[in-house]
Amino acid sequence: MLAEVRSQAPRRKLVLTTHRADLAEAFRGLGFRDPAPPIGPTCTALALDHAPPEGEVDVRLIETFEDFRTGLEIEDAVFGYSRRATDVEAVYERRRGRPGGEWLALLDGRAVAYAGAVAGRHGLYLASGATLPEFRGRGAYRSLVRARWDRAVALGTPALVVHAQETSRPVLEHLGFEHVCTIHELELDPATC
Q: What is the pLDDT of residue 135?
A: 97
Same domain? For 106 and 148 the reply is: yes
Q: What is the pLDDT of residue 192?
A: 59
Q: What is the pLDDT of residue 119?
A: 96
Q: What is the pLDDT of residue 7?
A: 64
Say if 1 falls within a structural domain.
Answer: no
pLDDT (average), residues 77-87: 79
Say if residue 191's pLDDT is above 70: no
pLDDT (average), residues 33-50: 88
What is the chain's mean pLDDT, rounded? Answer: 89
Same domain? For 92 and 103 the reply is: yes
Same domain? For 118 and 148 the reply is: yes
Same domain? For 63 and 144 the reply is: yes
Q: What is the pLDDT of residue 13?
A: 75
Say if 67 falls within a structural domain.
Answer: yes
Same domain? For 125 and 142 the reply is: yes
Q: Where are the alpha helices (DSSP H) in 33-110?
A: 65-79, 85-96
Say if 6 falls within a structural domain.
Answer: no
pLDDT (average), residues 140-166: 95
Lowest mean pLDDT among 2-6, 82-86, 164-168, 187-191: 2-6
- CA 109 to chain CA centroid, Å, is 24
Task: Enter the DSSP assignment of 16.
Answer: E
pLDDT (average), residues 2-20: 70
Total number of domains in the chain: 2
Same domain? For 119 and 187 the reply is: no
Q: What is the pLDDT of residue 176?
A: 97
pLDDT digits (tens, 9 = 90+) for 87-114: 888 888 888 888 999 999 999 999 999 9
CA distance 17 to 183: 7
Say if 4 falls within a structural domain.
Answer: no
Question: Structural domain of residue 176, as residue ranges?
Answer: 12-49+159-193
Lowest mean pLDDT among 26-40, 56-70, 79-93: 79-93
Same domain? For 34 and 74 the reply is: no
* Residue 143 near residue 55, CB atoms below 8 Å: yes
Q: What is the pLDDT of residue 11?
A: 59
Say if residue 117's pLDDT is above 60: yes
pLDDT (average), residues 24-41: 85
Same domain? For 138 and 82 the reply is: yes
CA dihedral 45, 106, 76, 14 (to 10 degrees): 30
Same domain? For 105 and 182 the reply is: no
